[in-house]
Amino acid sequence: MENIIKPQIPVFKPLIEESEIAAAVESLELGWLGMGSYVKDFEAELTRVCDFASGEDRHVVAVSTGHAALHLSLLMIGVGSGDEVITPSFNNAADFQAIRACGAEPVFVDIKEETLCIDVDKVESLITDKTKCIICMDYDIFLCDHNALRKISKKYNIPILHDAAHSFGSYYKGRPTGNQHEYTMFSFDPVKTVTCIDGGAVVVKGAENVKRLQAMRLIGMTQSAEQMYTNSRAWTYDIEGLGFRYHMANLHAAIGLSQISKLDKIRSTRQIACKKYYDELSSITWLEAPKGDFEEVSPFLYYIRVLNGNRDELREHMKSQGVDTGIHWQAGHKFTYFKGCRKGDLDVTEKIVDQILSLPLHSYMSEKDQNRIIQSIASFRG
């Protein structure tokens, strides 16, 4: 272990303070390590942040991971063998795997160059009788054109699954994420803006759908969630359908509760860092620094596009300066497991995956660290 060289400034740095440690200790001392009262409180806090519109009958169900949230959402929609799900090729592999886990096939669509979100204008040409769902993913400091997606959903009677893994705590036209479509998933994994160590959530409409999700996340058992939320359980139950071990643990929910209590500060400090990145980097001619509506988003990433073909050289240079970088994402249609999937015109995706570079972005990021990151880029002469 002594020979491992750790980057001095990592891409991700979880915000773990005394309050998170105290919350973890408190939940462990409680002695109820499974799904319990902290999960109930965490779902209530997620509901508060989402601020669902009156009469929408929306509910939040916490699960073990973002991938679990994707998988369960697709199953709730009814995605199965022989179906197709349209998704950007420029996306996290979790989406593609969740589709395959349902027995369906991903169909790859392109992204808009301005936002790196799904290109709604290219979606319709890919819709067939097999299309069961469309996945849209908010990316970094940009949100999808959700109004246009709703029109397509209504026109073809195809549900939208909103992948909001990047955008928890963000707003779309004044409304928090979670209000835009019938199904929304959140991720609270180790590197997300708000972390539970690992965790996810599904936003769904209707009390009956909540009961289905609650059973599916607990290996199909009709175990009363309300009883488990009191840190107790029933010893007899029925199993009426498919289920998985996808429930959230009290420990993870306790950490998530501490994180959400700081959401406003987390959001504002990340917005400030993104603005500084744009102000300092936008004048460099061989890269493109995005300028979004920083006031509306709770940024997960900040990326640049390296336009001179020297991304790998820049990464090595920054590494030599003690700065780590990331690549979010690779193209799904180029993975061996998905090469045979149907796809549309992916010209923008093909270009972006060779240019994209994620910079370090942390909650409460110090000005000293950020200046050092910016200087490592400005000093590159590749």
Per-residue pLDDT for 30 more than 80? yes
Per-residue pLDDT for 124 more than 80? yes
Which stretches of the chain are assigned E, i.e. beta strand?
Answer: 58-63, 84-88, 105-109, 131-137, 160-163, 171-172, 175-176, 183-187, 200-205, 287-288, 302-306, 356-359
Written as six digits, the tokens of 328 are 């979010």
Written as six digits, the tokens of 39 are 């999960």
Query: How high does pLDDT run on average in the chain?
Result: 96
Q: How many CB atoms lie within 10 A of CB 75?
A: 19
Within 83-143, residue ranges assigned H as helices are 93-101
Q: How many CB atoms lie within 10 A of CB 283?
A: 9
Dihedral sign from CA coordinates of 95, 101, 102, 105: positive
Which pLDDT score, from 0 to 100, does residue 6 have?
Answer: 55
Q: Residue 190 — pLDDT band, cuts 50, 70, 90? A: very high
Q: Residue 293 — pLDDT band, cuts 50, 70, 90? A: confident
Work out the average pLDDT over 74-97: 98
pLDDT tens, 335-362?
999 999 999 999 999 999 999 999 999 9
Per-residue pLDDT for 73 more than 70? yes
Which pLDDT score, from 0 to 100, does residue 76 have?
Answer: 98
Q: Residue 1 — pLDDT band, cuts 50, 70, 90? A: very low
Work out the average pLDDT over 128-150: 98
By the 10 Å C-beta count (0-12 exposed, 13-18 middle, 19+ buried), 135 is classed as buried
Q: Work out whether strand 302-306 and strand 287-288 pair parallel, antiparallel, or are unpaired.
A: antiparallel
Work out the average pLDDT over 1-6: 52
Q: What is the pTM of this model?
A: 0.96
Q: Helix, strand, coil shares of the chain as percentages rounded to 5?
A: 35, 20, 45
Rounded to whole angstroms, the Cα distance separating 154 from 320 reads 51
